[in-house]
Structure 1
Amino acid sequence: MNIKSHFVFSKKQRSGIFLLIAIIIILFGCYHFVLPKVMNTNPDFSTSSTEVAPFIKQIDSLKAIAIEKRKPKIYPFNPNFITDYKGYTLGMTTQEIDRLLAFRKQEQWVNSVNQFQQVTKVSDSLLAQIAPYFKFPEWVTHPKSQKNGSTKPFSKTPKTERQKLDLNSATAGQLQKVYGIGPSYSERIVKYRQKINGFHAFIELQEVYGLTPEVIQNVKDNFTIKIPRTITKIALNTATKEQLVTIKYIDYEVAHHIIEERTLRDGFKSIEELTKVNGFPVNKIQIIKLSLRLD
């Protein structure tokens, strides 16, 4: 076989090959050297273009909004009830939180922004951020006064059961004689009492919006519940899901978990064991206990 014949070209063929090679070299040079420069100088590809700039600004704005949404929101709160977790989210140090908790353990109350800083020793910058969200009780921000402007004295002498008035028949005016209860709080107590057809236990005062543990204790010092509201208690260890959901704060999901936990434990030994149930509203256990009994 004559291999040499494959490499013999005519004059026209050789000219065509040289032209093709020249075109390839030119295109290669344009791709690597000319085109990048054109793209960099072309205003259509520049990030400073008047057409592109608005889109970049909009993207940056959406990013800023997304970052802001991810930040934890702060709602008005009483600084006396700051927990470890709440203090951490507010930016307080462990030492600052511990000072507040130690102060509260002494049965003392923070009643102003300045006092909060004195107790916790938080910085001025942090105080400026969180103080606008402080919500003190009404009796602190608007203390009741007599007509002559002097502060109305409240007796802190404990009353005997015989001296105490019946909470289920007390008027709004009688409730306002308790330290910490103004017109709005007394009205809320009366309305809630009417809604539930009378109180069964003082723990139900927790359901009245705005009442602090200290004010509830003041009510207990001045009132008694002579005829508690009748409550039909449900047997925890035999109750059906339909019966459990009739109890306030227990929905179908929580009722389902209660029955599951009850089966695993072969029955509850105490109502407090409900706090181990998945999704159970632990902070409402005292209210829920009013409607339950153990067989």
Structure 2
Amino acid sequence: MNIFKSHFWYNKSQRNGVFFLAIFVIILQSIIVFGDFFSDDKTDLNSSEVLSFHQQIDSLRAIEVENRKLKIYPFNPNYITDYKGEQLGMSLNEIDRLLAFRKTNKFINSKKEFQQVTKVSDSLLNKISPYFKFPDWVTKRNNSSNSSLRGTKQSVYKKPKPTLTTTDINKATAEDFRTITGIGAAFSERIIKYRTKLQGFSFKSQLNEVWGLEKEVAEKVLSTFNVAEKPIIQKENVNTVTFKELLKNPYIDYNLCKKIFEYRDEVAELQSVSELKKIKDFPLEKYDRIVLYLVAE
């Protein structure tokens, strides 16, 4: 009996604690059993607020998908790189064909030529060709060709062919150059502009340096025109010319100009223009053109 009494005998403060604990447990159980923790209101999934929320989510998702898509901007297909070609969906073989073609210093001037060179499929061509951007003179020439083809059933007025006034390439006018098949207004002006830069053609082969002029067309020009008189070129003293003046030489770029000045500083003074050949990596194939504008005094 003493054993049980020792377990159930408490002092006054302990009995009060047990009493309050029992009351707290009863209150807590009553709240759990009889309390209403759930609202009777149910969310209507078809309500305008819910639908509007879903539309916003769908709109944001669509924007994200659109941002992840490859954006293609107008570009010149002649300058497609490996990375650009892969982005456009071209195979490695197709890209290699294009790069090999460009190494021959030829240019693609239409989407038809692009497919002939690269051999891309019709579907890929139709996908990327709307973004092709050729030089303005190429676009005008292609449009003129298309217009002439569409107007074959109509009477087309042909301008009289210009009359040739000289066969000296250094005296020929734009109208003279346009007498050659394949030379239009753009190319005739380009030839004259390059001739001015050179201070006149000293060699017939310099015509091949005109940008974009195909070899076959250049040969037609040279079959009619020749260098009747050598131009009088203003030469610069290689020992006193400034860096900026030397860069005006159409055959000297920045790196070569720097090497010439370094060599000039090394030897103090060039006794002859031919000493330029001693410069390391000097472009000997351009020597006869470079010296047209230089003299050693």
Could you tell me the TM-score, scaled by structure 1's length? 0.48
- Highest CA radius of gyration, 1 or 2? 2
Could you tell me the TM-score, scaled by structure 2's length? 0.47
